[in-house]
Structure 1
Amino acid sequence: MSKTHQYHTQLVWTGNTGEGTRAYSSYERSHTLSAENKPVIPGSSDPHFRGDSSRYNPEELLVASLSSCHMLWFLHICAAQGIVVTAYEDAAAGFMQEDADGGGRFTSVVLHPRVWVKGDEHVIQKANALHTEAHKKCFIASSCNFPVRHEPVCFAAE
């Protein structure tokens, strides 16, 4: 039986400097993202598009969503299979191609999970293999029209 889930967020543009969008350079790209009972996320555009580098941009949030979703599925699968993960980190990278007309698209995202597990080499190999299953389960990756790869490295926890 399939289930449908809804997600609600609120976006508020905070970049009106008093002139609105009179000109491309007359406004800031600053905005806030929020969801009920959660901290506000300061957003902007990428600095290449006149954004504020101290705020998250949509491209970073997409890459972070892929990284987070993959990790959550991986941890779930490991727990279900009796693999004890003691630490997890990822240095994800997203690649976007800008078109001549200013539009563009992501061409790929590569996740680089570094995972520490309790156990011997057999457990480490099994944990590395579970990244494929996590990738297949990831809601965000399954929704993308570009490749999302993972290049995991697993270590024995001390």
Structure 2
Amino acid sequence: MSREHHYSTTVTWTGDLGEGTAGYRAYSRDHEVSAGDKPPLPGSSDPAFRGDAARWSPEDLLVASLAQCHMLWFLHLCAVNGIVVTAYTDEATGVMEETADGAGRFTSVTLHPAVTLADPALADKAAELHEQAHRLCFIANSVNFDVHVDG
């Protein structure tokens, strides 16, 4: 049986510097991403596209969502399989290729989960659960580029 889940976000541009989009350099790429009562995320474009490096770019958020989804599945699978995780970090990386006409696409994302287990003897079983988490991840199943798990 399949079920649908619906999500709604609001993106609000906050970058009018007084001239609107009168010119390419006349406006800021700043915006806010919000959803319901959650705190807003400050967004911008990547600095390569005149964005603010202190704010989240769509590219950052895409890589982060892949890492989050994998982590949440992995933690769930560990919990139901009796493996106690005591720490988890992931320094995920993504590669986006820009084409001559200014378009582009992600070509890959690599997750680098570093996991601490209460019982290191269960490392092989945990590695198997990484494979299963990758297969189950909603976000990884939704993108049209390779997602690798290096860990």
TM bracket, shorter-chain basis: over 0.9
Partner of 2:131: 132
The AA in structure 2 aligned to 1:131 is H
Matches within 5 A, 1:2-151: 2-121=2-121, 123-151=122-150
State the Cα deviation string for residues 61-113 of structure 1 (Å, max 9, x = none). Answer: 00000000000000000111111111100000000000000000000000000
SS at match of 1:61: helix
- CA distance in 1 between counterparts of 2:20 and 2:31 reads 14
State the Cα deviation string for residues 112-142 of structure 1 (Å, max 9, x = none). Answer: 0000112143x11110121010001100000
- Count residues with an aligned counterpart: 151
Which runs of 5 or more structure 1 residues have no equivalent in the other structure?
A: 153-158
TM-score (norm 2): 0.98
The AA in structure 2 aligned to 1:124 is A
How many percent of aligned residue pairs carry the same amino acid?
58
- CA distance in 1 between counterparts of 2:53 and 2:134 reads 30
SS at match of 1:94: strand
- CA distance in 2 between counterparts of 1:63 and 1:103 reads 18
State the Cα deviation string for residues 28-52 of structure 1 (Å, max 9, x = none). Answer: 0000000111011000000000001
RMSD value, Cα: 0.7
- CA distance in 1 between counterparts of 2:62 and 2:137 reads 13
Deviation (angstroms), 1:16? 0.6
- CA distance in 1 between counterparts of 2:112 and 2:85 reads 16
TM-score (norm 1): 0.94
SS at match of 2:5: coil
- CA distance in 2 between counterparts of 1:42 and 1:90 reads 22
SS at match of 1:3: coil
The AA in structure 1 aligned to 2:51 is G
- CA distance in 1 between counterparts of 2:95 and 2:140 reads 14
